[in-house]
Chain A
């Protein structure tokens, strides 16, 4: 698989600050994979997203050392608007996403396509398809500002997905959603993965990261302290000691092993837990 995003010794400072929020970070992301980005609040997750999308430093200014490459080319060398075609960015706060100039949801979701000069027939088809996928079709005639926080998060996601970017950067898309709504957002993101999109997702709900992500990046104080396959990262008790939240299933697995229940491996998802604990129970014979 080809590398789509690469960080080479990246250090970044916001303007008028003394402390870098990203420190000497190097890694690469491959096409078609789903990456979960985790870490405490203030560890640099949102800034990492801004760097990938080029908002830092182009919009936020500040000082960038090292290089952020998208498809092999430094983000600072892209022309204005060029990266917006390649990278869809869903903001943490959906209010930042909504254009504020459209009266209905349908128009809001169509806004980006209009700007790109897509023919009207195609716009209609694509908008309807995406609104169906994100379960907001019944709201099509509503004003974007009449919506609940959870609905607005789905609108923000829809207005980005509709542009069909190859890379999706999504910053905490489910903070306002109930568990059902959260699952539905993850299912939408999984659909994007099936379409071979590269997904970079910042998310605190670690049990869902465990379920869906291929790899996990762990940030702490602006540094990348771990990047590896999801199951490896999320079963690592030494990370838990550094304040990284592990999935409920990994904690349960570790506690069972400590208490003398032999498990073939430490699970991170509910399905894995049922499998591996089920095995242990059959062996236990009770």
Chain B
């Protein structure tokens, strides 16, 4: 049995809007996984079911030995941390430190463990220098890192990031990539929603494609980004370098810049 299992899961919002339609997802412990798909495909609703913010209307969501139906959101969120898409849905403290300390405090950690985890979270996200700042004095892209720090400080087994690259510049994207790599190295299970295909190729081993409330396919970035029927169904494009190689008819499995250079070079020189 996989560490995380979503079995025949559907979700209907109050009022009857069906957002997720009978999906099955399995995630092994320590996997790093991206979820891609159009706005409205059901990505955010799916991950909110993983940390207990939503309960499935149908089917089961199992995390380790917990069926989320039998546990409170507070209990599930000790195991699964979720960073909201919009940081302002998450932030409510008047200092960065207060915000980042809140989770570990609620978990009832002892002072020393808490301090260690909070310091680590502030350091890895680059938020150390803003400890005493009011989060709302910081730009949106920085507030996003505050919310990421708040989840890392809880040191949960599973961490979910909802569109962390939105509004980030080059440096922000690189910092995010480094954080994800480090969490993966520590054996965390990391699930990230992203619209940035280059970011997905650079940082994830496996990709789940969602379209119209369902899972379309799942595989390595190489498998997914050359699966044209799946891309078409999800209205996604290949990464830029793959598109060029496809158009030129070279290297029919290229997903990185290095591979593109090698494939094109072999046909020219």
Contacts and interface: CB of A to CB of B under 8 A. Distances in A.
B248 to A, nearest CB: 6
Contacts of A256: 261, 264-265, 268
Contacts of A247: 240
A150 B268 contact: no
A148 B40 contact: yes
A280 interface: yes
A176 B171 CA distance: 19
Nearest to B170: A245
Interface residues of B, number: 41
A17 to B, nearest CB: 11
Contact of A252 (B197, B244, B266): B244
B94 interface: no
Nearest to A45: B169
B260 interface: yes
B129 interface: no
A280 B167 contact: no
Interface stretch (B100-108, B117-125, B135-143, B180-188): B135-143
B257 A259 contact: no
Contacts of B39: 148-151, 176-178, 181
A207 interface: yes
A272 to B, nearest CB: 10
Contacts of B58: none
B168 interface: yes
B243 to A, nearest CB: 6
B179 interface: no
A210 to B, nearest CB: 10
A201 to B, nearest CB: 15
Interface in A261-276: 261, 270, 273-274
Nearest to A38: B169
B166 interface: yes
B169 A40 contact: yes
Contacts of B40: 148
Interface in A243-258: 243-245, 247-249, 251-252, 255-256
Which residue among A41, A150, A286 has the maximum number of chain B CB atoms within 10 Å of its CB?
A: A41
A278 B248 contact: yes
Contacts of B261: 252, 255-256, 259
Nearest to B141: A41
B268 A281 contact: yes
A204 to B, nearest CB: 6
A281 B169 contact: no
Contacts of B266: 286
Contacts of A252: 240-241, 244, 257, 260-261
A84 interface: no
Contact of A283 (B141, B169, B268): B268
Interface of B: 37-40, 85-86, 139-142, 163, 166-172, 195, 197-198, 235-237, 239-241, 243-244, 247-248, 250, 257, 260-261, 264-269
Please name the 5 residue pairs, one residue from A and one from B, whose CB atoms are nearest each other, closest first.
A284-B268, A248-B240, A245-B170, A150-B39, A175-B167
